[in-house]
Each structure stands twice: as structure tokens, then as C-alpha cells.
Amino acid sequence: MKDLNSSYNLLVAGVDDGGFKPDFKYIKEKPSIPLIVVYYRNHRIIDLKISTIKIDGLDATERLIEILMLKKPAVIFSAGITVAGFNIIDFIRIYDTLKIPTIIVLDHKPNLKRIKDAIIKHLDNAEERIKIIMKYPKFKKFENFYYESIGIDEKLALKLINSFRIFSKYPEPLRLAHLIAKSLYKFSLEKESHD
């Protein structure tokens, strides 16, 4: 594994998803959304990969592994463990498979009980989804955010979060992935309104 003590020349990835209208008609017509992976090094976007994932599906982990196998970053930054509704990313499996650590950064502490209840109530494969969620350790608070680290110790995770923060509390690759995902979503809505 690459030395993670210095952020200089370190290739990292930010992961986020495109949004969707929480509307059954919309989801039926457009059951997939983009999964965005921004590759970032030395304050620059190096590469951008986009895949599609199913809304409330179980394919996000596979799609992310496919992208990461093409270009392996030293660390992944993510804004959560769920994308596309309740499509859960198993970062522990990703670490076990590819040996790429993940740092998850959130605005607020996730309410895992509420997530589990919603999954049981609304989705198939509830057991499989809950099994993935239960693998995650508890999120920790630091300053004005919550975080969790997979495959990397907490002290180093916080050092990397701080090293990659520029304009916000989020590490820059994650902020950029979010901006790109949000822009793609807005573009799709505008395109839809003109069709």
C-alpha cells in the first residue's frame, strides 16, 4: 500500500451519485442514475469515471469495484454508504478485495435504525442490505462533521481529511464529485423539461 502520510502526489478518489426525483413514475421511467468517481492529485482533477447504478438496487459495490480496478487510488472519500436511494456500498468488501481504504465524511450522524426500518418496510433483499450496514463501525464526530474510516486508522484518516480540505469541511475530491453529480442531475432535469 502507498504511504498515506503525505498528501503530496497522492492519487485519491471522491465518490458520489447523481440525484433523482423521489417520484415512482420518474423512477419507473429512469431506474438508474450516475455514479461519479473523481480522481484527484495535487489539487487537480486527474480523471473522471461515470457508471450507472440502479435506484434502490444492489449494484453500487460492483460498479464501484469495476471503476476502481481500472485505476486504483490510494484512498477513497465518500459522502456515505448509500447511493441512489438505498443502494448500499460495501466499502469493507472493497477494502478486502482491492486493499483501498475508504474515508466516509458526513454532515450528520446517520440514523442506522431509521435506515434499517425503511429498508425492511420498502425494499426486497432487506436482509442482505442490513447485513452490509451492520458491518460498519460507529461514526465518530470531529469538528463539524462525522466520519468513519475503513482500512485506515482514525488519526491518519483525520490527517487526510484535513489535508484535502480547501473550500469546505469536505475533502476536495468529494466536494468536486458532489458538484459534478449535482450538475449532471440538473442537466438531466433541464433536458427533460425541453423534451
| pLDDT tens per residue, range 154-184 | 999 999 999 999 989 999 999 999 999 989 8
Q: Which CATH architecture has domain 12-188?
A: 2-Layer Sandwich (3.30)
**pTM of the predicted structure, to 2 decimals:** 0.92
pLDDT of residue 173: 98
Q: Is residue 10 within 8 Å of 41, Cβ to Cβ?
A: yes
Extents of the domains making up the chain:
12-188
Q: How far apart are CA 193 and CA 76, in angstroms?
A: 35
Interval 19-75: pLDDT, tens: 777 765 656 666 889 999 999 999 999 999 999 999 999 999 999 999 999 999 999
Task: Enumerate the β-bridge partners of residue 13.
Answer: 39, 76
The yes-or-no verdict on residue 192 having pLDDT over 70 is no
How far apart are the C-alpha atoms of 133 and 51, rounded to whole Å?
A: 23
SS3 content of the chain, % helix, strand, coil (to 5): 40, 25, 35
